[in-house]
Amino acid sequence: MLRVGLTGGIGSGKSTVARRLVARGAVLVDSDVLAREVVAPGTDGLAEIAAAFGDGVLDASGALDRPALAAVVFDDPAARERLNAIVHPRVRERSAELIAAAPADAVVVQDVPLLVESGMAPLLPLVVVVHADAEERVRRLVLRGLPETDARARIAAQASDEARRAAADVWLDNSGDEHDLGAAVDALWERRLVPFEANLRERRPVGAGAPRLVEPDPDWPAAAERLRARVAAAVGERGRGVAHIGSTAVPWLPAKDVIDLQLGVETLADADAVRDALQDSGFPWVPRIDHDNPKPPGSPVWPKRFHGSADPGRVVHLHIREVGSPGWRYALLVRDWLRADSAARAEYLAVKRSAARRYAGDPDAERYVEVKEPWFDAAIGRAEGWAATSAWVPSLD
């Protein structure tokens, strides 16, 4: 089963996307629908709201008077927090029931308007954000009968576009017509969601493919931050920090489009204990890669655990090492040295390009890595010298 978070600002077209995904076969868990269900007449949720805010928030039939409740809580943060404490736990409980009842091979779309605001994004393997410009959203809301001032106020009360973009694994632009949006949703379903679900269920990582260097992508740091948060949420207290490492963590350096992360643990027994949690979050275990190559030559093998990504839209290599171990330190040192030393970056890039040319079309990534090892073996002394003179200390950032 794959759980997908779907969100977007009011008037963005999120409901249109949800309907299209359901038509393709997704199971929809709509938080807005559930929020109404858990406060329907006769529920304990409605009784608690009445007790908290008075009978003035009920209509003549005893049902919730939503405009009256909105007038009480809209400009009162404490009242909103009190209301959320009543409604949100019930919505989460009902959502969990619906997800548990879905088929094992389902793509479950969780439509959550306040997904970003609630900090829920790291708890889901994939987040889809539907976007439309604010003025277009205002226009749509006014056509629905909402006064313009109210439309603008509601938009302003929600997360910013920047916050949503930071949380988005997939950004669906709905500034055009519905046909374009439908085509984009269909492509997302066929090329990403369906294979992602199958990979997740079968614990199958996607491959990086033949080595191909691309120019630095400005989205790499943001993608790494999303993935760091997802890994940290999956492992909980057993984790000792997640760092973005590898070439995509070095500004200005062309690289393969692969995000490398390093999860620190106290012992590798902790890595084994969180294996299933990581796999459920979209990071299948790759048992054949259970150690680093010796660095420098002749040093002992450095054990680790390695997980890939089930998401065909984002290749990830997750290295799990004991905090303070030589492999853990080495990954952070090389990253920071390459960030600081432009000459070293240029040398390394030349080696990478040579290796990529040599193994162009070869899907065996280990051969590409092996070609680079001699350069690292020869350069480690320079990196250590830089660390000594710069008073370097390992950092996750």
Of 77, 150, 163, 45, the residue nearest 114 (C-alpha) = 163
The binding site comprises: 11-16
Q: Residue range 283-289: average pLDDT?
A: 90
| Topology alike, domains 2-201 and 220-390 | no
Q: Residue range 267-285: average pLDDT?
A: 97
Cα gap 72→68, rounded to integer Å: 7
Q: Residue range 67-82: average pLDDT?
A: 86
Residue 303 has pLDDT above 80, yes or no: yes
Residue 360 has pLDDT above 90, yes or no: no
Cα gap 205→316, rounded to integer Å: 9
Residue 278 has pLDDT above 80, yes or no: yes
Residue 208 has pLDDT above 80, yes or no: no
CA end-to-end distance (rounded Å), the chain: 33
Of the pLDDT bands very low, low, confident and very high (cuts 50, 70, 90), residue 330 is very high
Strand partners, 319: 262, 306
Of 291, 5, 269, the residue nearest 120 (C-alpha) = 5
Q: Flag the least confident range among 152-166, 192-206, 222-236.
A: 152-166
Q: Residue range 168-178: average pLDDT?
A: 91
| Of the ranges 97-111, 136-150, 202-216, the best mean pLDDT one | 97-111
* pLDDT more than 90, % of the chain: 74
Residue 361 has pLDDT above 70, yes or no: no
Enclosing H/E stretch for 329: helix 326-340
User: Quick check: helix, strand or coil at residue 275?
Assistant: helix
The binding site for ATP comprises: 11-16
Residue 222 has pLDDT above 60, yes or no: yes
Residue 157 has pLDDT above 90, yes or no: no
How many Cβ atoms from other residues are within 10 Å of residue 160's Cβ?
A: 13
Of 345, 41, 312, 395, the residue nearest 216 (C-alpha) = 345
At residue 362, the pLDDT reads: 66
Q: Residue range 264-277: average pLDDT?
A: 97
Q: Kindly report the CA angle at 271 between 265 and 275, in degrees rounded to 5?
A: 145
Rg (Cα) of the chain, in Å, rounded?
Answer: 25
Residue 297 has pLDDT above 70, yes or no: no
User: Which residue type does 163 have?
Assistant: A
Tokens coding 90: 């019930």
Of the pLDDT bands very low, low, confident and very high (cuts 50, 70, 90), residue 194 is very high
Spans of all domains in the chain: 2-201, 220-390
At residue 371, the pLDDT reads: 75
Of the pLDDT bands very low, low, confident and very high (cuts 50, 70, 90), residue 35 is very high
Q: Which residues contact 151 (CB under 8 A, 6 or more apart)?
A: 10, 11, 137, 138, 141, 142
139 to 159, 169, 321, 328, 358: CA distances (angstroms):
19, 27, 52, 53, 55
Entry pTM: 0.90
Of 155, 112, 80, the residue nearest 3 (C-alpha) = 112
Q: Which residues contact 138 (CB under 8 A, 6 or more apart)?
A: 11, 148, 151, 152, 155
The CATH number assigned to the domain with range 220-390 reads: 3.30.460.10
Q: Which residues contact 349 (CB under 8 A, 6 or more apart)?
A: 253, 254
Contact assessment for residue 4 and residue 110, using Cβ atoms and an 8 Å cutoff: yes
Q: Domain 2-201 falls in which CATH fold?
A: Rossmann fold (3.40.50)
Q: Residue range 71-82: average pLDDT?
A: 86
Q: What value does the mean pLDDT of the chain take?
A: 92
Contact assessment for residue 227 and residue 261, using Cβ atoms and an 8 Å cutoff: yes
Q: Kindly report the CA angle at 273 between 271 and 275, in degrees rounded to 5?
A: 70
Residue 296 has pLDDT above 60, yes or no: no
Of the pLDDT bands very low, low, confident and very high (cuts 50, 70, 90), residue 212 is confident
